[in-house]
Structure 1
């Protein structure tokens, strides 16, 4: 489920690239009637990026780099001619110039533009120099316009899906732990929980990427402007700083996963412990963990506050005279790990705002 927005985003990006390059080529061929119509669609492809802000910033870099490439090919083609060593010289100069820090993201366009033009017989074409620069500008302009007009991406919905997916998986693991602990569990099940937490940690890394994209996608995005002025869009309106709430929720998820992994390791080690478990602890602790898992998986689930129940369990068990002293380090570790997770569970209000609706 969390992968679906990534696929939709990639599909939209592909369609926009096709539209931008095709439109730039059509304008070059049928309106400008250029002899080398490949520059405009090529720069259009370079300009269409994942966010509007990135298209604008990279578009400026592409314009400068491509213009430098046109100038480089013009100088070499007209004054030195096209030969093996001048071709290599153009590549050398282009790659060195690509290191300029303020165009380094698209700096390689200097060399590639020079390669394209020199390979196409650019020498002695001084009258066409302005045409080449116009084609570069056309490609950049078309790429930016397409990204502005055709579903400019807002990634907060994708970030919400990742946050929701990881939370549901955490809840599922806790419910499974509770069910297994209430009866019996073995080393294999505990190892499966540990592996699942590792998988969720990898998903949170992807979620952080989407949160960073969500922040960037709001910059220079017309959809943000329309939302602020009350224009209805297909996606629900979001308050200012929603991506910051995603970051806050993910920070809690990261912390919760570390405690969940520790809990899984404790249960893994407990499979080697000697002696039987206290039935009361086993029953009450598994009920608390099960409710905790339900609350994480679904913020709207009606469960009793987990933190207070853990405190009550700890107090009641400390009064048990028949409980062996050697059992307390293990019991205490299980209670402490769940107490840390409960801090996250009992504060689900802000998490609900940034998670995907249940529908």
Structure 2
């Protein structure tokens, strides 16, 4: 039984947990540094503006930080300008404060600053709510403080290990493959003896759960692609090591996580179809052919081992399925009514076998990209 220390160690080794902890550290460092600079260098009367914008700027990817940082700067500057116009010409009162929020929230709907547009309204709250008369001569300084916070947030995100999420995406792919392999192994064990509709329903629910995990994997892959944009970590590795650059280019042409997930999705679909066939087979009349049951069960077990562990040593599944189909076609004693069912099982496994081979090949191609 794993000890609490081992469980904590395993938890901390998960890519998503490591990334989240790193994100917390970066946010703390950025906000603290921005607060110190605002106090020590600018001697600001509102030292919370810089750390606030620094927190808004530190996102999980460098590209998103650049994009959101630019939006935060523009939105905050608009908020400062809005506060100046309303405070200077209309004064600060209950209704002008509400007017500033109304205009700010309308501006937040503008498409090109929609992600950080709320900063228009919040900046107006800070400036009008903290005493406009005392802040009016210092509006330029407020913009400088906002720009300082954005700059610090960007700098921290660039310096402190910009993430590349391929490891996390890879973990999801391996997890789904392992679960597919477990289902196939369970099918093989049950098929060698007997099974019922409840067991087939369990396999079906497991394939639906795999589809849910696959959706999460797609999100992780898209995030991984974004994490490479404007990411100096990947560019630095390529510039320092031409072999890494050339290898990355060749592998990008040969395989991608998008292609891998598409193949895994096909595998899940074929596996789901196989579970339906086995569930319907529980209502079929007549005895199973012993030789088919034994050979098909062995093939399914080896396919499960292959897809959960591509390094395992098993005979080629596809060739064995062809051999099984030829043997059955030569069997004069096999009832004609059995062929549709047996053919469906062989065909489903043939499709899964192709996916097994593709996923195994893709694993070898993507292994060096983990990081």
Q: Does 1:349 align with 2:361?
A: yes
Assess, with a 3 A threshold, how the Cα gap between structure 1 residues 187 and 220 changes in structure 2: closer, same or farther: same
| Superposed CA offset, 1:20-46 (max 9, x none) | 111111111122110011111111111
TM-score (norm 1): 0.94
Counterpart CA distance in 2 for 1:230 and 1:140 is 29
Residue 297 of structure 2: aligned partner: 286
Counterpart CA distance in 2 for 1:168 and 1:129 is 59
Q: Give the alignment partner of residue 34 of structure 1, picking from 34, 41, 44.
A: 44
Q: Equivalent residue of 1:40, what SS? A: helix
Provide structure 1 residue ranges, at least 5 long, that are not aligned to the other structure: none
Counterpart CA distance in 2 for 1:355 and 1:191 is 34
In the TM superposition, residue 4 of structure 1 has moved relative to its aligned partner by: 2.6
Q: Give the alignment partner of residue 330 of structure 1, picking from 341, 351, 355.
A: 341
Q: Indicate if the aligned counterparts of 1:163 and 1:355 stay in contact, CA closer than 8 A.
A: no
- Between the two proteins, the alignment pairs up a number of residues equal to 356
Assess, with a 3 A threshold, how the Cα gap between structure 1 residues 212 and 170 changes in structure 2: closer, same or farther: same
Counterpart CA distance in 2 for 1:226 and 1:212 is 22
Counterpart CA distance in 2 for 1:12 and 1:132 is 29
Q: Does 1:320 align with 2:331?
A: yes
Q: Give the alignment partner of residue 239 of structure 1, picking from 244, 248, 261.
A: 248
- 19-28 or 7-16: which moved more? 7-16
Residue 132 of structure 1: aligned partner: 142
Q: Equivalent residue of 1:302, what SS? A: coil
Counterpart CA distance in 1 for 2:150 and 2:273 is 51
Counterpart CA distance in 2 for 1:225 and 1:211 is 19
Q: Indicate if the aligned counterparts of 1:164 and 1:355 stay in contact, CA closer than 8 A.
A: no
In the TM superposition, residue 352 of structure 1 has moved relative to its aligned partner by: 2.6
Residue 8 of structure 1: aligned partner: 18
Counterpart CA distance in 2 for 1:272 and 1:238 is 53
Q: Indicate if the aligned counterparts of 1:227 and 1:237 stay in contact, CA closer than 8 A.
A: no
Counterpart CA distance in 2 for 1:92 and 1:288 is 67
Q: Indicate if the aligned counterparts of 2:214 and 2:265 stay in contact, CA closer than 8 A.
A: yes
Provide structure 2 residue ranges, at least 5 long, that are not aligned to the other structure: 1-9
CA-based RMSD of the aligned residues comes to 2.3
In the TM superposition, residue 124 of structure 1 has moved relative to its aligned partner by: 5.1
Residue 21 of structure 1: aligned partner: 31
Assess, with a 3 A threshold, how the Cα gap between structure 1 residues 238 and 8 changes in structure 2: closer, same or farther: farther
1:52-201 alignment, distance < 5 Å: 52-123=62-133, 125-201=135-211
